[in-house]
Amino acid sequence: NLIHKKSSRAEKPFIAINCAAIPENMLEAMLFGHEKGAFTGASSANKGIFRAADTGTLLLDEISEMPLSLQAKLLRVLQEKKVTPIGGQRDIDVDVRVIATTNRDMINEVKEKKFREDLYYRLNVVPIKLPLLRDRFEDIPDLTSAFLINNYNEKLLNRSISYEGMNILKEYSWPGNIRELKNVIDRLCLLSSAEDVPINLIKEVLSEDRFDEDN
């Protein structure tokens, strides 16, 4: 979102799609579109997400989950800047900035033949690696403040966490990274009736979040 908003495409469409959440037989049609009658159930034409994001930005979340057969078609779209809807007879020009995300080691994915090498290098133009939360504990106060603000409303008090409480958060390993931090802050806001979240409650919530790494 930030990359899109700070770019010359800010006023154009921003569309995000989770490649892991959509069945393989539907993902191609959603990405590239389809013509009416192209397959069973295609009662009307659909231009697809690439064309919907034309002149804007398309986020392909969990790109590593995209089937190999579809990766080849995505590579062609990125190379040629054209899409061909399923059942269509002509290519359609598209101008889309593509951002792809994954939580996997893509070099290993390529070595294990789970991801196309040519597509990896086509996407890997400006790589951005986000370190684990435990490796950037200095970000925890800012993230915590943002999550506390998000929890503020007419029904909940304006919560705060003391210096000692923040140090406890910094010392935690955060196996769930930022999602886990957000969930912990949300839980603390719901469970605490005091403006300054009690230290014991922070310790209790973090203790509940720990799990046996051998399992």
CA 71 – CA 28 distance, rounded (Å): 10
Strands (E), 29-168: 57-61, 82-83, 92-93, 97-100
CA 146 and chain centroid, separation: 18
Give me the pLDDT at residue 46, please: 83
- Running along the chain, 215 residues long, what does each successive block of 10 average in pLDDT? 95 95 87 80 82 96 94 94 88 95 94 96 93 94 92 69 95 94 93 88 88 46
Instruction: Identify the DSSP state of 8.
Output: T
Question: Using only C-alpha atoms, what is the Rg of the chain?
Answer: 22
The position carrying tokens 């886990």 is 180
| Sign of the CA dihedral running 119, 9, 145, 149 | negative
CA 124 – CA 50 distance, rounded (Å): 19
- CB–CB of 176/183 below 8 Å? yes
- CB–CB of 64/116 below 8 Å? no
- CB–CB of 36/86 below 8 Å? no
Give me the pLDDT at residue 14, please: 97
Give me the pLDDT at residue 212, please: 45
Give me the pLDDT at residue 153, please: 63
Give me the pLDDT at residue 134, please: 93
The position carrying tokens 């995000």 is 16
Give me the pLDDT at residue 28, please: 87
Burial zone of 187 (CB within 10 Å; 0-12 exposed, 13-18 middle, 19+ buried): middle
Give me the pLDDT at residue 215, please: 39
| Phi/psi-derived region of residue 138, left when phi > 0, alpha when psi is between -120 and 50, beta in every other case | alpha
Long-range contacts of the stretch 141-150 (C-beta < 8 A, 24+): 141/166, 143/178, 143/181, 143/182, 144/169, 144/181, 144/185, 147/181, 147/182, 147/185, 147/186, 148/185, 148/189
Length of the chain in terms of residues written? 215
